[in-house]
Amino acid sequence: MSNFILAPEGLQLRDVDVWGPIYDAKTYGTIMDARIVRVRRIGNQGETWEIEFDDAPGITGLVPAEQTGLPEGTPVNAFVGSVISVKVMEINRKEGIVACSRKEVVNISLSKLLAAINVGQEISSIVKFVSDRNVYLDIGGGVIIRLPAEKARLSDGVPLDVQYRRGGKVNIIVTNLSKEDRGIEVEPIDPWERWTFSRGEVLSGTVVAVRDTAVFVSVKPGVIGMAPYKAADEFVHGDRLEFQVNKFDATKRKLHLIEWDPKKVGQRKREKYRAQARRNAARQSRIANGEDKIIIGVFSDIAVGAEEKPGIDEE
């Protein structure tokens, strides 16, 4: 860290003193970018982000939980490693610490969004974090919207962390807007309304995950199908393969697939024919051995009884 008392000749103090950008940001209210490097617990402040500035190496910034600008209940640990935008609130040069607020920046962005968007408008967002029950989307300027699983899940049976990837783009629609409460509600655009698949159809898809007994395959943006997975199978994330549609239900958002391999398809057909042949042979054997006589006799008696009973015209 620099400790110049006076700036060297031909330079300004801000050019050689790392504190220069920090004081400028505090004085003029400018926004600085910083990276979250860890989460600390400091006194009554609770969980606090520790941040570092590229423009001011060696200076530590602190963002208390109430200044993160995140929706209530959002796990702050999930954002470690992320680059955020902050305003400098207080400076303690002696300790080398700067108190910062992300909330101030988010409030500015939120005001701009509330003035620019309308209910029913389609906008884009970026996935910031995915948990078992929620997806957190940045709809612009650091404004984070939490989508619960019941709204976020686009494909039935597909885990959220398979459906959504951190840093991925998601198209959403604004469903509610309140300028008084400064609230925005959104939902992902349903991709299943756009596509139709028929049983037996062969299509190309990308393997996005392999879990336990299922492989998940992306066939269209937002549409992920499932295919059975066995230990002997060699599916690799990112593989582009052909699959055959086994079942499709747009209403329930279900797409069941099986791997398409001409050799395997031929083998399955041969196995099916052999199984049918075995069943036919077994049935013929039972008939030849007289095992079906009782059944035949029962139906014969019924037939005779029907013939002896007078019809409507004979009465």
Residues 164 and 242 in one domain: no
The mean pLDDT values, 10 residues at a time, for the chain of 315 residues are 68 72 92 96 88 89 95 92 96 93 97 96 96 95 95 90 93 95 94 91 94 91 90 84 94 92 69 83 81 50 44 40
The span from the first CA to the last CA of the chain, in angstroms, equals 116
Final residue belonging to a domain, choices 159, 189, 219: 189
303: in domain? no
51: in domain? yes
Residues 145 and 214 in one domain: no
Residues 184 and 209 in one domain: no
Q: How far does CA 298 lie from the centroid of its chain? A: 61
pLDDT tens-place string over residues 280-293 = 888 888 888 776 55
pLDDT at 283: 85
Provide the residue type at 313 as one letter. D
Tokens of 309: 């009973």
Domain range for residue 241? 202-259
Residues 76 and 124 in one domain: no
Q: How many separate domains does the chain show?
A: 4
298: in domain? no
276: in domain? yes
- b (16+ CB within 10 A) / e for 173-206: ebeebeeeeeebebebbebbeeeebeeeeebebe
pLDDT tens-place string over residues 136-170 = 999 999 999 999 999 998 898 899 999 999 999 99
Residues 82 and 25 in one domain: yes
309: in domain? no
Final residue belonging to a domain, choices 189, 214, 245: 189
pLDDT at 54: 87
* pTM tops 0.85: no
pLDDT at 275: 83
From the number of C-beta atoms within 10 Å of its C-beta (0-12, 13-18, 19+), residue 136 rates as buried
CATH number of the domain where residue 134 is located: 2.40.50.140
Q: In angstroms, rounded to a whole number, what is the distance separating the alpha carbons of residues 220 and 218?
A: 6
Q: What is the dihedral of CA 279, 280, 281, 285, to 10 degrees?
A: 100
